[in-house]
Amino acid sequence: MSSLAVLNASQVITLAGPKRPRIGAELSELEIIRDGGMLVRDGKIERVGPSDEIEKDLGDAEVLDARGRVVMPGFVDAHTHLVFAGNRLEDFERRSRGETYEQIAKAGGGIWSTVEKTRAASEPDLLAQAKKHANWFLRCGTTTVEAKSGYGLTVEDELKILRVMRQLNASCRASDAIRESRIASTAPVRVDAAETEAGPEIVPTFLGAHAVSRGMSPDKYVELVITEMLPRVSAEKLAEFCDVFCERGYFDVDQSRKILSAAKKVGLSVRGHVDQLTNSGGAKLMAEMGATTADHLEQTDEQGIAALKKANVQPVLLPASVYALGLSRYPRAREMIEAGLGVVLATDFNPGSSPTPSMPMVLSLACTQMKMSPAEAVTASTVNAAYSLHRGDKIGSLEPGKLANFVIFDCEDYRELAYWFGMPHTHAVYIRGDRVLDSRER
């Protein structure tokens, strides 16, 4: 048995509460324990409470002193594009000079430059870069990352990206095998050093419909996604969700409906990039499809919000992409909270429109630009995000029985995460009770 006791934390942010996404005033209820402690056994949380009570029953637990620090569930990032090759530095510089999207695309930039680099990259090279990105998430305190394909746009290249995600997760499973062997006191399982590199858990989403592949008509490409990509993704169990970029110039409402219907038929749950640049009825489509989430929603109006509420769809808001594109129209978070939606915050990490893995940065934007409170932002990026990935029963809060995925931050009050923006607060990160990042090792 391996056990760990965290003691003396200035605040343990438990987020204990109902077993569903938090809505309305519930988003402000963090269930904070001051001078708190937590007992972890075999990768799971056994007890959470006042430090002096936890201390009474330590047994052989390794003790971790969190004096002067905040202990929180690891962030759950429910919308990222983790796997791609290269970067978009040239686009970034052009945009900073005031060039338009069209000018940048003409100069060879935009999504196509990333698609070309990702197609050209070998699977090991893509995996190496994805590991680097995954480590950035850990350093920001994120322990679970949803990741979308979508920079391949051919059958083989989309599958290659999803296989990279599977390999990223295999390293987590390798450390699980080690733990199992420890518990069973059998000989340790041998794994290569490279396989034991710890990283966040990856939740794979198939986004073949990210853009229409060059040289194909939109309808032909939709056909390819439905008849060739989706069956392979499903047969090889490479994704849990299917996503689509529903926007003028990409996939319209009818094409998006076709793709998501086909995805549901092969057993995938669905999410969607909707109403980002124009209000094209994307939120309503997500409601009609019974989607798990509707993401972006910068242009969604009150009718869209009402449709999401009626169908119980969780909105995933991505303020970092609004910020990084230099735009000013953020989604209507306050109206969504008041309407009773289980709001989620995520980074939208990608090389073009949101090059940040930092959830603390997203918390800052949520508070300053969308007028969410620091507590609402924390709920939206932990427990609500966990439910939006069908993992609310396992992660997202510090409650007995859940996985011991938690972060120790170098601040005494959780509100400091959003307040002191642009600086690292992470002290240590734990996944399933194992320390996977320590600020002294950085």
Q: Which amino acid is present at 115?
A: V
Q: Which stretch binds Zn ion (CB under 5 A): 90-98, 192-200, 346-354, 426-434?
A: 346-354
Site for Zn ion in 372-391 (CB under 5 A): none
Structure tokens at 282: 């994307």
Residue 261 CB neighbours (<10 A) = 12
Q: Pick between residue 271 and residue 427 the one whose CB is nearest to Zn ion.
A: 271
Contacts of 429 by beta carbon, 8 Å cutoff, 6+ apart:
74, 138, 139, 141, 143, 406, 407, 408, 435, 436, 437, 438
Q: Pick between residue 298 and residue 348 the one whose CB is nearest to Zn ion.
A: 348
To the nearest whole angstrom, how small is the minimum distance from the Cβ of residue 151 to Zn ion?
A: 11
d(CA 315, CA 101): 26
- Radius of gyration for the chain, computed over Cα atoms and rounded to the nearest angstrom: 21
d(CA 178, CA 166): 19
In the complex, which residue's CB is closest to Zn ion?
Answer: 348
Q: Pick between residue 348 and residue 434 the one whose CB is nearest to Zn ion.
A: 348
To the nearest whole angstrom, how small is the minimum distance from the Cβ of residue 406 to Zn ion?
A: 27
Q: Pick between residue 269 and residue 405 the one whose CB is nearest to Zn ion.
A: 269
User: Nearest CA to 226 among 197, 187, 265, 170?
Assistant: 265
Q: Which stretch binds Zn ion (CB under 5 A): 7-15, 340-348, 357-365, 401-409?
A: 340-348
**CB distance 207 to 244 below 8 Å:** yes
Q: Pick between residue 157 and residue 348 the one whose CB is nearest to Zn ion.
A: 348
Q: Which stretch binds Zn ion (CB under 5 A): 277-285, 348-356, 359-367, 429-437?
A: 348-356
Q: Pick between residue 6 and residue 274 the one whose CB is nearest to Zn ion.
A: 274
Contacts of 384 by beta carbon, 8 Å cutoff, 6+ apart:
21, 22, 27, 314, 342, 343, 344, 396
Residue 111 CB neighbours (<10 A) = 22
How far are the Cα atoms of 33, 36, 59, 307 from residue 282, in angstroms, in the given order?
41, 44, 54, 10
To the nearest whole angstrom, how small is the minimum distance from the Cβ of residue 307 to Zn ion?
A: 21
Q: Which stretch binds Zn ion (CB under 5 A): 17-25, 116-124, 341-349, 407-415?
A: 341-349
To the nearest whole angstrom, how small is the minimum distance from the Cβ of residue 192 to Zn ion?
A: 33
Q: Which stretch binds Zn ion (CB under 5 A): 129-137, 220-228, 347-355, 393-401?
A: 347-355
Give how many residues touch Zn ion by CB under 5 A. 1
To the nearest whole angstrom, how small is the minimum distance from the Cβ of residue 189 to Zn ion?
A: 37
Q: Which stretch binds Zn ion (CB under 5 A): 234-242, 344-352, 403-411, 413-421?
A: 344-352
Q: Pick between residue 69 and residue 210 the one whose CB is nearest to Zn ion.
A: 210
Q: Which stretch binds Zn ion (CB under 5 A): 104-112, 177-185, 254-262, 343-351?
A: 343-351
Interacting residue with Zn ion among 247, 348, 376, 434 (CB under 5 A): 348
**CB distance 202 to 240 below 8 Å:** no
d(CA 347, CA 359): 6
To the nearest whole angstrom, how small is the minimum distance from the Cβ of residue 354 to Zn ion?
A: 7
The dihedral sign for the CA sequence 204, 205, 211, 216: positive
Q: Pick between residue 46 and residue 275 the one whose CB is nearest to Zn ion.
A: 275
To the nearest whole angstrom, how small is the minimum distance from the Cβ of residue 348 to Zn ion?
A: 5
Question: Does the footprint of Zn ion cover residue 243 (CB under 5 A)?
Answer: no
Site for Zn ion in 82-121 (CB under 5 A): none
d(CA 433, CA 12): 16
To the nearest whole angstrom, how small is the minimum distance from the Cβ of residue 273 to Zn ion?
A: 5
Q: Residue 403: how many CA atoms within 13 Å on its side-chain side?
A: 22
The site for Zn ion (CB under 5 A) is made up of 348
